[in-house]
Homo-oligomer: A and B are copies of this chain.
Amino acid sequence: MKIKNPDYKQTILDEFKAQKFMAFINARVTKIEPGHCEIEVSYKEDLSQHHGYLHAGITGTLADNASGFAAYTVIEKGSSIVTSEYKINFLSPVVGEKIIARGNVVKAGKTLIVCRSDVYDVKSGVEKLCATALLTMVEIKGK
C-alpha cells in the first residue's frame, strides 16, 4: 500500500473531528494504519431502533466512515475522499454494548478506491461479525 501523505493520521483525525455528526453519536477513531481505519460507537438509547437494539443507520454510517478514512491513508496530501456508493449486508441484529467498524482498502486506483468494511457487534467483550460492506470511494484532488 503506497503512502503519499506522510501526515495521513493527523489529516484523518482532523477530518473526523470536523464531522459534527461523529461527536453527536459519540463515535471514536480507535486505529489508523496504512489502508485501514477503525471506528467505534457505544450503545445508547438515543441510537436505538424499535426493538431497543442499535439502529442499522449507525451501522451503515460507521461502515461508510471506516472505509472512507481507510481511503484517506492512501491518497495525496490535500486530496479529500467522497463516497461514491456502498452496499451493506446486515448479518445479525446489534445487541451488544458497542460496535466496531473496520475499513480496509481493497484496491487503490488513480481516482477510485475500492474498500471493504466489516462491522462487529461487541457483547460482554466478545466480537461477532454483524454487517459487511463493499464501498467505492473517490479521491477529489486539491481540496
Contact = CB atoms under 8 A, between A and B. Distances in A.
Q: How many copies does the complex hold?
A: 4
Contacts of A48: 19-21
A58 B21 CA distance: 9
B20 A45 contact: yes
A136 interface: yes
Nearest to A68: B56
A71 interface: no
Interface residues of A, number: 47
A15 interface: yes
Contacts of A93: 82
Interface in A82-130: 82-93, 106-107, 109, 111-112, 114, 116, 129
Contact of A50 (B15, B61, B132): B15
Given A60-B60, A107-B129, A114-B132, A55 B21 contact: yes
Contacts of A138: 111-112
Contacts of A18: 49-50
